[in-house]
Structure 1
Amino acid sequence: MNKAKKLLNKYKNQSKKIKIIIFVIIIFAILFSLYMFKTSRALRVRYIDLEFEDLPKSFDNIKVALASDIHSGLYIPTSHIQKMSDMITENNPDIILFIGDYIYSAPRWFKYHNKKNIHRLIEGIKNLEAPLGKYAVLGNHDNYESKIDVSNAMHSNNFKMLDNNIIFITNDIGEYISIGGVGDFMTDDVKFDLATKNVKTNDFNILLSHEPAAPLAIAKKEGYNELIDFFVCGHTHGMQISLVPMPLIERLNKNRDYPLTTIYGNMQSGKTKIYVSSGVGVVLLPFRLFAYPEIVIATLKNKK
């Protein structure tokens, strides 16, 4: 009997320990999830200064705001988009560049498009202004859901869509810069010939591409990187849930002539400076880890 009682007590003690362990794991999972959710809403402004030999002197110190992957919808409310817009406005940019993926109604395989997310997007960005204009390209999620709805939403907010297109901005003394954009690599054609049309090697050109890796490789292979001074991308979310902090990811490319990885950050390919944004919103899960959402304020300087 004593032996049986000891076994019973041992079983009870082990069962109690297991319950305590399970309870601790559940509490940790809840707290960790709350932390990742809070991180997903902790929108930051990153400031960078970049020098370019081709930038005309009259455009020296021009301020450019960059934002990508807003993903209005499933997890991102209008208030988060308005917060982004307020942070951009506070910095008084000369140009605003959006780099695709403006909506997110559901994971792609559901093939679901909620038009309310378009209205959330419009409401969130309606007060954005920039003296030299607002420019954008589409991302894969925009094309998955409704290219027409998203394009119309951007047009209604006076954004010029630059998918496989280019625009030249000329100032009062006749100096100019150009901004081109290519279609999303996953869902559209990537036409660098159209995005760099009439650009000379000593002109200053900004290139918008939602997806970084493949278009960057195409530009290098086909020689278009000789015409591109600043290559701006998004799409990656900085991995969104990463095991490595973004500054460490960025350091992998420090002093390299061509990026080792195009997950996040400030990097270079020959004479072309590159920035891959971690984005504003989220997909699949409303969480981020070591990959804070951001907008970027880039001050472009004449190097001469």
Structure 2
Amino acid sequence: MTTLLRRYKQVALALALGLSALSAQAESVDSYPSRPVTMIIGWAAGGPADGVGRMVAAEMGKHLGQSIVVDNKGGAGGNIGSVAAARAQPDGYTIMLATVASHGLNSALYDNIGYDPIKDFAPVGLINTSPSTMLVPLDSPFKTVQDYVAYAKANPGKLTYGSGGVGSSQHLAGASFKTRTGIDILHVPFKGTAPALTDVMAGRIDMIITTGAMAPIASGKVRPLAITAKSRIAALPDVPTFDEAGVKGFYMDSWYGLVAPAGTPRPVLIKLNEALTKALQDPELRKKFVDLGSVPAEPMSIDAYWDMVQKGMVEAAELVQISGAKAEK
């Protein structure tokens, strides 16, 4: 009888502890967020990804009732930031700006990226999508895409294209452009898009194909030659598509979204998704995205967003295969 009583007390204690833990978790979720949230951005400050992340962080913070602090962890095509986010505590206080690179291209470009884009993360939501623009220095002799291609064919290996890093969307776009046109141009990777754009504007790099092109265009230091969309965009009505410029079938939409470490409670993910949805309804934020040449995302559930990401990874792998791109050792 003594043994049975002892056993009963042990079971009762275990149940009590379990219920207490569940109650504490429920209270924690209900009160979330009770302190600032960190948004990891795997790209250098000042680039397109950083700009998108900071705009969204500021607006989302208003709806969460807590500030969202940006933490730039650039390098390795976004992989350094992704690994850091994947290893963070899954408590909702760390989120990450996901991109077509972190959750698509890098898995096909690198032999080992150090994380699993699906298993190591949980979905929050889509921010926007945008095509890339081919930019050359304003004083470049190239006025059209065909000018650039003709010179590259006559002078193999002499022209350069920049990127935000090995495995970045700019790297893939440039490699795909090389393959589609049959030219030989040199890839020059930087630690982020901002320094790459700086060198293009200064004339030290001959070309870049990137998102976030409106600011450098507005500065009057670069010339846009074509966009990787199927039709012209409102922000650049006079800039042709690559189809129109003679490079058929060159389409490449980039996207930005948010993810959290795997294991983050679903109620927390839903709260973050709701805050993002409200943020994206702000007219000023939507106008900023449109002015940048992007299309703001419409309301999307976390499950629909995750389905989009997984399908996009298959398409990204196909793009990498077609382009022949591979991350340098």
- The normalised TM-score by structure 2 is 0.28
- The normalised TM-score by structure 1 is 0.29
Q: As a proportion of its length, which structure holds more helix?
A: 2
